Structure 1
């Protein structure tokens, strides 16, 4: 899906779980641009993928982490990931 129109400026992907936010981030941007995930720079160039996934992963005892979100710049987008497992991207041209 291309973001050519003003109505397509923001995109959100979620399945309700916080696991593997790094994969969701790259997949969401690749889908938006109609590209393969392998056509993008590695996410580790801008954020530690293991730390991002661990930030909202359940604790060792299985309890949830606190609610929150983290934002960073990647591949021309501002990416916001949340403890609910959502990945929101917004073009950098705002």
Structure 2
């Protein structure tokens, strides 16, 4: 399960971001869906399919745990999903709720 740290920012962003450590037992895409469900108070099955927004296989390949990866690659991805700006890197996932005008600007 993801570990939630609501007061952590992403790259110096404000505390409006919710931060989660990526789990060794979940894929990064599972963590994204569970985190969005957590902060929005919704069931994960009620959310729009993640594949309509981003390629889940690519996200899992880029940010998944592997025995050969011992250090960060520095890769980051930012996108909008279910009214939240999602940012993910090798070790954590952060998100914040956004309004419709902001989400249009990020696309």
| TM bracket (short chain) | 0.7 to 0.9
Question: Does 1:47 find its partner at 2:65?
Answer: no
Alignment of 1:29-44 (within 5 A): 29-44=36-51
**2:95 aligned residue:** 89
TM-score for both structures, normalised by structure 2: 0.67
CA contact (8 A) 2:19 2:94 kept: yes
Please list every run of 5 or more consecutive structure 1 residues that lacks an aligned counterpart in the other structure.
Answer: 1-6
Change (3 A) 1:33 1:8: farther
Cα drift, residue 72 of structure 1: 0.6
Measure the CA separation in 2 of the matches of 1:66 and 1:43: 24
Aligned to 2:74, the other structure's residue is in SS state coil
Instruction: Give a deviation string over 1:13-52, Cα, whole Å, max 9, x none.
Output: 11465x6110111101101111110010000000000100
Structure number with greater CO (CA < 8 Å, separation at least 6) is 1
Structure-1 separation of matches of 2:88 and 2:94: 6
- Residue 30 (structure 2) pairs with residue 23 (structure 1): yes
Give the total of aligned pairs.
86
Contact residue 28 and residue 60 of structure 2 kept, 8 A: yes
